[in-house]
Structures are given as structure tokens and as C-alpha cells.
Amino acid sequence: MSYVPKQPQEPAVRKTNWVLLGVIFGFVLLGAAMLANIWGRSVERPAIPLVDPSFLEQTAWRRSYADLVRAKEDLSDFDCYVCHEKKNPPPLRFDDKHNLIVPEEHETIKMGHGSHDRNNLCFNCHNEANLVTFSTRDGKELKFAESSRLCGSCHGPNYRDWEAGVHGRMNGYWNHSLGEFRRLDCVNCHNPHSPRIPTRQPAPAPHPLRASAESAKSATTH
């Protein structure tokens, strides 16, 4: 006995045809509405300005003694004994308020290390017995290129963070096999005599990459 498939009933066929015609008609209407642009124009995204190159600059504010050594530059300005006499520390003079009087030969130096003025004394950092070295609070003698260790002798928490890479800045590659990796010295950012960093303009916030409410309102009114 052979199987004879049942033929679809006529009402069901008509219903399917009407549904298909409705779908086709709906797409035609949607296409016509899009061509007529009945919803208006889409809001154009505003142009994203480029980041100021100054925020991407890797050059430090200041050059340290170590930078000058690496660049093989003239270091005669750091030879204190060109003017001063060895084994004869220069005398320090103070005004009536016990503020250090900076000699004319060092008039470019502005003393301002700390708000209490107790650090405005040359021999708090410079070695009185050997002017071409530094002297820490515990009596250790350091070379000029070791200035960050000198800072760390008083600013312990900052020095700890600097060693960990939290404080200050590092240039180069995290993967040392790809290139040089160098941690900037304290004096690359801080003037040792007046270490407070001047106020800087903050870097711009991340761009949202979408039109703002104001730009959308402006676009709809034009």
C-alpha cells in the first residue's frame, strides 16, 4: 500500500500567502520610510581633537648630574674647588631672621626646601668636609650621581615608592630584553633647593567616542 501525502487545505494556503504578502509589504514600507528619512538625520560625531604632544613628552623637566655624565658634557660647574678652598669650608651667613643669605656667585639658587625653613642650610646635604660629595643624615658620603639616595635618607616612604616604580617616572621597556629601562632620578622632576613642583595642566579625560547631548540637540535644530 503506497503512501499518499495529504494536500494542504486551501484556507491554510491562503493564510500563508497573506502573511507573506504582509511581510513583503512591511519591508517595502520600511524601505520607503528610510529613503524618505522620516526619522531625521543621525547625529554626526564631533571631531576628536588630537592629544597635546606635551602630554606624551618623555623628556624630563630637569637634567641630573648623571644625565650630564652620560651625555659626556662639561662638568666644570660641579667642581666646587675651582672657587672654594679645600679643607676650608665656606662660611654661611644669615640675616636677622636666620634665613640663609645666598652668595652672589649662587644667586640663581632659590632656597625653599620645606615649609619650616629648617632645610635652608647648605650643609644639610652638601658635605662640608668635601664639597664635591653629599652627606646623608647618618654620615654616609655619596657622589653627585647618587643624589636620589641622598633624598631617600630623609624621604623614606617616597624613596621606597620610587624604588617600586610608584613614585616618579620610568622610561623605556618593561621587558629589558627589548631595550633600555631607566628610572628617572628625583632631581629630574624636583629642584633640590626648591623641590615643590609647579602646578601643571592636567591631561584631558578619555573621549567618550559618542555624541554628547548638546551636540545631538544642535544637530536636530539645523
- Domain map (residue ranges) of the chain: 59-188
Q: Is the pLDDT of residue 219 over 50?
A: no
Please write the tens of the pLDDT for every residue from 66-124.
Answer: 999 999 999 988 999 999 998 888 999 999 888 889 999 898 998 888 877 777 889 99
Alpha helices in 101-212 (DSSP H): 147-152, 156-164
**Left, alpha or beta for 204 (phi > 0: left; psi -120 to 50: alpha)?**
beta
pTM over 0.75: no
Average pLDDT, the chain: 83
- The residue type found at 194 is S
Dihedral sign from CA coordinates of 165, 170, 175, 180: negative
